[in-house]
Structure 1
C-alpha cells in the first residue's frame, strides 16, 4: 500500500494478576530494567526496558509493559495472543536463558527441549510460561538440529503439548 511506512514491533503489553511477581520474573529472567512504574491502587503498571539499548528516546528502550488488571490465568483456548517470542543470536544464548528458567523453577513446554521451528528449518528455541501462564519462547536463527522437530514440517512454535492448553 502506498503511503504506509514499514512497521516493526514496538513494546508488548501484558495483563498480569500480580505486578510485583511478574516484574521480578521478567527483570530476573531477561535482565530488563524498570523504566517507570505506578503502585497507585487500581493503576498499577511497570514499564520494562532493555538496558543494552543506548537511546534517549523512551520508546526505543521500552520492551514490555505489565498491567495489573486481570484475574485468573492466561487462556490458551480463546482468541488473542498465542505466544511471545524473544530472539537471541545463538543456541548458546538460548541455552543460557533456559538455564535461568530452570533455576527459577518455571514450567517448561516440550520437556524444556530446544526444538527446531520445523523439520525444514534449523532455527528454534525452547518454550515456557510466565507466572500468569503466558506462553513464551526464546529462539535463535540457526543451529538447532532438525531431527528434534516436534511437529515435523509444521511450526513447533504454533503447536504445544496438550498439558500447555
Structure 2
C-alpha cells in the first residue's frame, strides 16, 4: 500500500471570510498564504503557522458553517503540556472565552471550548 505522510490541510466553512481571517490571524497567529478568488470575489483563504506545520483553509460557505457550529473536529497539536498552559494564558489575555485545560485520554493536556467566530470548537492538545 502506498504511504501517507500526514494531513496536508483542513478546510473549514465560514460565514464571514473577513471576520474569520481576523480571528485566525490574531488569535491563532496564522498567516494568509493564498486568497482564492472566484468571479472577482475572495471566497477562500489558505493559512499557515510560521513553521508551515499547521495549514488551514477557510471557505466562504455560511450554510455549512452554521451546520457544524459547536462541533469539535479540529484539534491542533501543541508541543508540550506547559505550552497548552501558555495558550490558556494568551487566550485569557485576548479575552477569548474557552473551557479551560482538561486531562486528555492519554494523560496529556487539552484546552477545550475555544470557538472560532462561527462556533467551530478548536482544541489545543499536547500528549
* TM-score, normalised by the number of residues in structure 1: 0.64
Task: Quote the Cα distance in structure 2 between the aligned partners of 1:47 and 1:84.
Answer: 16
Instruction: Report the counterpart of residue 93 of structure 2 in structure 1.
Output: 103
Task: Quote the Cα distance in structure 2 between the aligned partners of 1:29 and 1:44.
Answer: 21
**Is the 2:84–2:109 Cα contact (8 Å) retained in structure 1?**
no
**Is the 1:74–1:133 Cα contact (8 Å) retained in structure 2?**
no
Q: What value does the CA root-mean-square deviation take over the aligned residues?
A: 2.4
Pairs aligned (count): 123
Greater strand proportion = 2
- The Cα shift of 1:74 comes to 4.6
- The Cα shift of 1:62 comes to 6.6
Query: 5+ unaligned residues in a row in structure 2: which ranges?
Result: none
- The Cα shift of 1:9 comes to 1.3
Name which of 14, 17, 25 aligns with 1:27.
Answer: 25
Once the two structures are superposed, the pairs formed by residues 144-155 of structure 1 within 5 Å of their partners are none
Alignment CA distance shift 1:108-1:74 (3 Å)? farther
| Residues 1:115 and 2:107 aligned together | no
